[in-house]
């Protein structure tokens, strides 16, 4: 069975409730008829209720951008996966590079968050990716392999296909520099081979691997046509309804 393309928009720290409702209102008619591609948007926490309400029955899913490792408790400023689920989220982004590098999240914490997402009934989108320094030092496979090892620790094989991996080279995020389709495909093929070597064959066949890092309407089709690129995690271009819908169409 071919892997169903999956496009997710990460709104990051943009779009409060009013603007988020406006963007969701613009997106809905553009995406409501989409049957070939799974689509999700990840608004900031405070905007999730507005976006869930607006996108109800549209087929577009809502994702959290992060979650805490615990289901509840004295954790000022944090949001539990269970709360995201109760608010109507289906997915949650885990291990985004802006949290790994900006906030010092390591693979042990990220693995706990992946486990917490499953416990809450959310499907994790686990982000991995090397820095420019790693790439220049020829360490791409070491870094990606280590992030996979750490991030997926303790998961059962049958948890892998529902999870999405997002390969996001740090040097391509928000920089306007995209990995070339061949550069991205090389790493995606490495990731799939990594899965193949460690799990039953269906895991590598079925697990979706998104590419992220300056995906735009004008480069999406070529990236998405690569055999091991199953979708995209889109930042900047997800903030414009027409651009995001164009990227979704490119995934068909």
Nearer to ligand PGA among residue 122 and residue 172 (C-beta) = 172
Nearer to ligand PGA, 103 or 157 (CB): 103
Active site residue 96: yes
Binding mask 186-215 for ligand PGA (x = CB under 6 A): --------------------------xxxx
CB-wise, 80 or 173, nearer to ligand PGA?
173
Known catalytic residue: 141?
no
Tell me the window of 70-78, 108-116, 144-152, 233-241 that interacts with ligand PGA (CB under 6 A). 233-241
Nearer to ligand PGA, 60 or 173 (CB): 173
Q: To the nearest whole angstrom, how small is the minimum distance from the Cβ of residue 180 to ligand PGA?
A: 15
Report how far apart, in Å, the C-alpha atoms of 103 and of each of 72, 98, 152 are. Answer: 21, 7, 20
Give the interface size with ligand PGA as a residue count (CB under 6 A).
13
For the chain, the DSSP string reads: -PPPPEEEEE-TT---HHHHHHHHHHHHHHHTT--SSEEEEE--GGGHHHHHHHHTTSS-EEEES--BSSSSSS-TT--BHHHHHHTT--EEEES-HHHHTTS---HHHHHHHHHHHHHTTPEEEEEE---HHHHHTT-HHHHHHHHHHHHHTT--GGGTTTSEEEE--GGGTTSSPPPPHHHHHHHHHHHHHHHHHHS-HHHHHH-EEEEESS--HHHHHHHHTSTT--EEEESGGGGSHHHHHHHHHHT-
Q: Which of 34, 98, 168, 188 is catalytic?
A: 168
Among 51, 163, 233, 248, binds ligand PGA (CB under 6 A): 233
* Beta carbon of residue 38, minimum distance to ligand PGA (angstroms, whole number): 16
Binding mask 120-159 for ligand PGA (x = CB under 6 A): ----------------------------------------
Instruction: Verify binding: residue 235, ligand PGA, rule CB under 6 A.
Output: yes
Question: What CA–CA distance (Å, rounded) separates 71 from 66?
Answer: 13
Q: Which residues of 220-237 are buried (b: 16+ CB within 10 A; e: fewer)?
A: beebbebebbbbbbbbbb
5 within 8 A of 38, measured Cβ to Cβ: yes
> Shortest distance, CB of residue 197 to ligand PGA, whole angstroms?
27
Tell me which of 61, 68, 96, 188 is the catalytic residue.
96
Task: Rule CB under 6 A: choose which of 107, 236, 244, 250 binds ligand PGA.
Answer: 236
Question: What residues between 1 and 40 interact with ligand PGA by CB under 6 A?
Answer: 10
Asked if 63 interacts with ligand PGA (CB under 6 A), we say: no
Residues in contact with ligand PGA by CB under 6 A are 10, 168, 173-174, 212-215, 233-237
User: What are the catalytic residues?
Assistant: 96, 168
């Amino acid at each position: 069975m071919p892997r169903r393309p999956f496009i997710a928009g990460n709104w990051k720290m943009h779009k409060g409730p009013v603007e988020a409702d406006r963007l969701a209102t613009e997106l809905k008619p553009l995406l409501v008829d989409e049957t070939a591609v799974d689509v999700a948007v990840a608004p900031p926490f405070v905007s999730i209720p507005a976006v869930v309400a607006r996108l109800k029955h549209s087929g577009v899913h809502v994702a959290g951008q992060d979650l805490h490792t615990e289901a509840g408790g004295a954790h000022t400023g944090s949001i539990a996966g269970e709360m995201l689920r109760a608010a109507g989220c289906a997915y949650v982004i885990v291990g985004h590079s802006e949290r790994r590098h900006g906030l010092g999240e390591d693979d042990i914490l990220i693995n706990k968050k992946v486990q917490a997402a499953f416990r809450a009934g959310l499907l994790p989108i686990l982000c991995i990716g090397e820095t420019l320094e790693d790439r220049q030092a020829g360490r791409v496979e070491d870094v990606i392999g280590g992030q996979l090892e750490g991030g997926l620790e303790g998961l059962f094989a049958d948890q892998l296909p529902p999870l999405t991996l997002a390969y996001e080279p740090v040097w391509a995020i928000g920089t306007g520099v995209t990995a070339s389709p061949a550069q991205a495909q090389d790493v995606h093929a490495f990731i799939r081979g990594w899965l193949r070597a460690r799990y039953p064959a269906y895991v590598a066949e079925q697990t979706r691997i998104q590419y992220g890092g300056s995906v735009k309407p004008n480069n999406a089709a070529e990236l998405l046509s690569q055999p091991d690129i199953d979708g995209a995690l889109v930042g900047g271009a997800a903030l414009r309804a027409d651009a995001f819908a164009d990227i979704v169409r490119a995934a068909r």
